[in-house]
Amino acid sequence: MKIHNFSAGPGILPQEVMQKAAEACINFNDTGLSLLEMSHRSKAFEAVMHEAESLVRELLQVSEDYAVLFLSGGASSQFFMVPLNLLAPDQKAVYSDTGVWANKSIKEAKRYGQIEVIASSKDANYTFIPKEFDIPTDAKYFHITTNNTIYGTEYQHIPKSPVPLVADMSSNFMSRPVNVSDFDLIYAGAQKNVGPAGCTVVIVKKDILGKTGRDIPSMLDYRTHIPEISMYNTPPVFPIYVCMLTLRWIKSIGGLIPMEVRNIAKAKLLYDEIDRNPLFKGTTAVEDRSRMNVTFVTTREGIEGEFMTLAQSHGIDGIKGHRSVGGFRASIYNAMPQSSVQVLVDLMQEFEKSKG
């Protein structure tokens, strides 16, 4: 039975990428060595690193004003690396609180400077993206989380900021075109749209660094990693290689404009059924619905477990909603084929018929 992987993360990867990655574990590019045992200082892996960076730059049109880094530690490490590198203790940064991960980034940042939350949907259980707020011009940066995996909301339009804009793009990175020049720093855990867990992509404008007056530990200073091409220490070799393969795949389908078209179509297919089917309803404001993480609940008591069992019997995996929201969450990242979304939609229609 085919398994349709709707997991929120680590998320689905293209089959061709996983096949190539599996081959590299045995014999990488006919070297006779496994990628898992190969020196990160070898010319073969240096070529991987250079291609991965080049693909990020090409797909997002990243200028040389920015460094592209592949770091370990996950996006959670960026929660403290960002303020550590950008914020002096007597300076202020402002944040938008739109979910669990945004809230965690706020908590970490408070260790390093004055943090002000200027927009929040916490009181409404994060069911919408705040839109009416003022960004103080004396802030060193404004931080947003562009997509919220748990609650199923996404910034459909990036706010204009009079101060440097920092974005956690972990769960919608490379799912649509973005204007990198609108941001001073972007970071994204790879394990949603770009690769496996263990690698974080950072795109940082070089001229914003080195201004805090802090003595930053070497491994936590972006400036350490830039001249070393992300190889100051041993990098997460295998995750970076899989990221490179996935970026190749995105390029092969035409880049981020066709990718966005695909993602819009998949999301519309599922949201249209949620809105049509009387047994289900969405949990977020319609205008803020995520294209990546579709959250919904049942409208009748006692049928949620039935639908979950039915879904599992049809090979649908990973749709159980987060405990803070309940219900269901279908994560439809880049590599999710529309045919799998159609299987879920067909099952929702079958369930409706069975309930009269």
What confidence tens digit (pLDDT) does each residue in 101-138 have?
Answer: 999 999 999 999 999 999 999 999 999 999 999 999 99
Digit-coded pLDDT (tens) for 28-62: 999 999 999 989 989 989 999 999 999 999 999 99
Q: Which of 75, 72, 71, 53 is nearest to 62 (CA)?
A: 53
Q: List the catalytic residues.
A: 101, 168, 192
User: How far apart, in whole angstroms, are the C-alpha atoms of residue 329 and residue 311?
Assistant: 12
The CA-to-CA distance between both ends of the chain, in Å, stands at: 28
Q: Other C-beta atoms within 10 Å of 59: how many?
A: 16
List Cβ neighbours of 52 (8 Å cut-off, separation of 6 or more). 70, 240, 241, 243, 244, 247
- Go through the domains of the chain in sequence order and give each one's CATH number: 15-252 (3.40.640.10), 255-354 (3.90.1150.10)
pTM of whole model > 0.85? yes
Q: What is the largest CA-CA distance in the chain?
A: 67
CB 150 within 8 A of CB 171: no
Digit-coded pLDDT (tens) for 332-349: 999 999 999 999 999 999
